[in-house]
Amino acid sequence: MIRHFARREWWADAVFYQLYPRSFRDSNGDGVGDLDGVTERLDYLSALGVNALWLNPVMVSPMADHGYDVADPRDIDPLFGDLTALDRLLAAAHARGIRVTMDLVPNHVSSAHPWFLEALADPSRRDRFIFRDGIGDAPPNNWVSVFGGPAWTRVPDGQWYLHLFDSAQPDLNWEHPEVFEDVEKTLRFWLDRGVDGFRIDVAHGMAKPPGLPDMSLTDNALLRNKEDDPRFDNESVHEIHRFIRRVLDDYPESVAVGEVWVHGNERFARYLRPDELHLGFNFRLVQADFDAAEVRAAIDNAMSAADLAGAVPTWTLSNHDVEREVTRYGGGARGLARARAMALVMLALPGAVFVYNGEELGLPQVDLPDEVLQDPVWERSGRTERGRDGCRVPLPWSGDAPPFGFSANPDTWLPMPADWAGLTVQRQDADPSSTLNFYRRAIELRSRRPEFDGGVHWVRDGAFTRDGGLRCVLNTGAAPVTLPAGEVLLASGPLTGGLLPPDTAAWLV
């Protein structure tokens, strides 16, 4: 059962807005979004009704992996502004009742980090990373990078260093006390500055198994790993999370949300024990097809996993690493209708919800030309995986042509589709039936109505109730179905004659 906290924690039913800073709003005309751009648009986020922001990485970085290669974890990269820009954002967000969380990247650092430069220059200082001698001219083991290619890179003196991601992201050695000390320093630096918590990148990583045994090479798709994969989910990772939690417990309002890709509910629940993460991303809903039985199974699975630890479930339909749901559900008008229906299902569930920027506009995945792709996955996979750039294209704010008010510079960091004029905030703001206004209404109802209290009870596949009295109905079939009795609070599409059309969901009380 869900733990009964001494008081209701703010994050337990919060709507978080995942904000990819380089794609949200550019304030200085360089074609890249920045922190002041976020501050300028906080009224938009306030009107959307979100309770908190999650900022993707804005720390100092060479940007080999768009900020997940951190060279200085306690400063802001000039691309996004500076510490005073973050202070302005924190003050303005907090004044509107919006919390701000940041990305923490504890599995690895940048190859430009002072520690790694020192390690290259002085082999006696390699103990904060995972350097090994090879086997002849071969790497120390057969591990492969999540981004493709080998997980080992050789340095001029013949040793190899481990990087589970890009070669510009050397893995830290979490058996070294200085790694713990430095991460604690980073946590306290941002928390003391007013940050409200962290999303922890690769929360199932960090710890490595003794001896670094070989892995099975049968499956290495991005963000997928086999149950027996020695690179991830090793037992000693939990002591790392307990260490992080002890620091956060000194800041009672803070929250840690983990990116946890593991197999089985029991293993997932271990990350959510009372002295580890507050919240953990369960990606089953992201992976489910638009099918009532699959959606029900995904919801039941995620809730069961959280219940095993007495924790709060966490929901999301998209993020910066996966294909946008409009495209995932079929594209075009049908994909948008299904995405809106699934948003209504997600927002009807108990727990914390994460909305990825642009989701509230119904943005589709963008099929970008080869020459503009920037994700390291593209090159490291031998150009067999296109990577994640298509879900990271900047947001359209206004106007009839790119850059649609995102920037004063038409040369945006990723090109924006010319046919997005109908998707701009300006256009949708004026249309009562737009996806943006639909999201605003759904979030408002979720936050204000007592019918959203309590647990979930299934009536059948595609229909559940909440203890507070809400009924959520989803039609994934090919024919309209009769709506149950009651007042319709909100529907994801038009209703006619008491029927729920295909690819539509509704809330009733």
Structural tokens at position 2: 């869900």
Using CA of residue 235, residue 241, residue 242, residue 244, what is the dihedral sign? positive
The single-letter code of the amino acid at 321 is D
Q: In whole angstroms, give the CA distance from residue 391 to residue 23.
A: 10
Structural tokens at position 219: 């499956």
Residue 28 burial (CB count, 10 A): 15
Residue 125 burial (CB count, 10 A): 14
Q: Are 473 and 462 in contact (CB under 8 A)?
A: yes
H-type alpha helices, 96-175 = 114-121
**Beta pairing, strands 279-281 & 255-259:** parallel
- Let me know if 259 is a catalytic residue: yes
Q: Are 253 and 283 in contact (CB under 8 A)?
A: no
Q: In whole angstroms, give the CA distance from residue 24 to residue 42.
A: 11
Q: In whole angstroms, give the CA distance from residue 417 to residue 393.
A: 9
Structural tokens at position 502: 């295909």
257: which strand partners?
Answer: 199, 279
| Catalytic, out of 26, 65, 201, 360 | 201
Report the residue count for the chain. 509
Q: In whole angstroms, give the CA distance from residue 152 to residue 134.
A: 10
Q: In whole angstroms, give the CA distance from residue 365 to residue 381.
A: 20
- Let me know if 201 is a catalytic residue: yes
With CA atoms as reference, report the closest residue to 452 among 337, 353, 305: 353
Q: Maximum CA pair distance of the chain?
A: 76
**Residue whose structure tokens are 């939690």:** 245
Helix (H, G, I), strand (E, B) or coil at 394: coil
DSSP annotation of 483: P
Distances (CA, A) of 305 to 5, 164, 276, 288, 316: 19, 27, 15, 16, 15
| Catalytic, out of 69, 229, 259, 360 | 259
Q: In whole angstroms, give the CA distance from residue 279 to residue 312.
A: 7
Residue 377 burial (CB count, 10 A): 24
Which of the residues are catalytic? Answer: 201, 259
